[in-house]
Amino acid sequence: MINILFVPFLLLMFATDSLASSETVSGIGKYDDNNVFAKILQNKLPAKVVFENEYVLAFEDINPIRPVHVLIIPKGKYRSLVDFSSKATDQEILAIVRAMGKIAKAMGLTKDGFSLMTNSGHHGGQTVAHLHFHLLGGEPVNWEQALRE
C-alpha cells in the first residue's frame, strides 16, 4: 500500500526537479542569496561603487575588458533579464533604465559612445545569477575581439 502511494509522489518529485534545472539553464530559476552580487548588496564583499540609488547599484567589474567596465544591477532579487522583465515593478524597470543613462554620462561615455549588454542563462554565458548589465567604453568595443578575450 505504501509503495503504491509512493510511486506518484516520486514521479512528481522527478517532474519538479527537471523543471527546476531547465529554468536554471534559461536564467529564471530560484534566486540564490549566496551569489557574488547578492553578497556585494549585503556588504559582505567589497565593490568600487560608481552609482547607487534605492533600486540600482553600479560598480566596477573586477576583471575589466575595456578601460570603462561597469556592472549595473537591480537591488531586487532577479536572476536574469527574463526574470526581471516579467517580475520587476514598473518603478524598478524605470529606475534601472534611467540609471543607465546617468551612469554612461557620469563615466564620460556619451561623446564617444559605449556598449551596454547582458548575458542571460547558460547559452548567454551568464556566470553570476543576479541580473547585471555590462557598460563598456573608453575605447571601441569590438565584440568579435572582446568575446575571445
Indicate which residues carry an active-site annotation: 132
Q: Which long-range contacts (CB under 8 A, 24 or more apart) does 105-108 make?
A: 106/50, 106/51, 107/50, 107/68, 107/70, 107/135, 107/137, 108/68
Q: Which is nearer to ligand AMP, 72 or 88 (CB)?
A: 72
Rounded to whole angstroms, the Cα distance separating 132 from 3 reads: 47
- The site for ligand AMP (CB under 6 A) is made up of 36, 45, 47, 61-63, 71, 119, 125-128
The three three-digit cell numbers of residue 82, written as one number: 527574463
In the complex, what is the shortest distance from the CB of residue 61 to ligand AMP, in angstroms, rounded to a whole number?
Answer: 5
Find the shortest distance in angstroms from Cβ 119 to ligand AMP: 4
Nearest distance in Å: CB 50, ligand AMP = 12
Nearer to ligand AMP, 93 or 128 (CB): 128
Q: How far apart are the C-alpha atoms of 8 and 28, rounded to whole Å?
A: 27
1, 12, 24, 101 from 17: Cα distances, Å = 25, 9, 11, 40
If the CB atoms of residues 81 and 109 are measured against ligand AMP, the closer one turns out to be 81
